[in-house]
Amino acid sequence: MKHIASIALTALALMACGADNHEREAREMVINARIMFAAKEYRAACDTIRAMRTRYPRALEARREALLLLDSIEMQAAIDSMTMSRTESEADEHLMHVEFLQKRIQHNEEALKK
């Protein structure tokens, strides 16, 4: 019986180490996405976040960070598009998108605080 208990404890410890590694690797991907975002490489940053979410579905803290980062990336891309709009209707469309994203970011920030 002691043998089974020690095997179970060892297995749990190994699983915890694996989870820590996944969280660390997922956070590294989020950091890389932040660097891409700062360089205005929006598509690459979004792709990195999506890959992280697929590769590390249980890295919850990294996923929380990535959620807000993804919203920020989308908002900045919309702002950039708005400033490059050629017509007033295009600018209005981008402005509506920016306002929507601002509300979504606020909602997600409040939800993550809980």
pLDDT at 104 over 90: no
Cα 6 from chain centroid (whole Å): 37
**What is the CA angle 19-109-30, rounded to 5?**
40
Alpha-carbon distance of 96 to 100, in angstroms, equals 6
Q: What is the pLDDT of residue 27?
A: 96
Alpha-carbon distance of 90 to 84, in angstroms, equals 9
Cα radius of gyration rounded to whole Å, the chain? 20
Alpha-carbon distance of 74 to 76, in angstroms, equals 6
Mean pLDDT score, 2-31: 67
- Residue-wise pLDDT for 34-77, tens only, equals 999 999 999 999 999 999 999 999 999 999 999 999 989 988 98
Banded pLDDT at 7 (limits 50, 70, 90): low
- Closest Cα partner for 46 from 25, 77, 20? 77
Q: pTM of the full predicted structure?
A: 0.68
DSSP-assigned letter for residue 58: T
Q: What is the pLDDT of residue 11?
A: 42
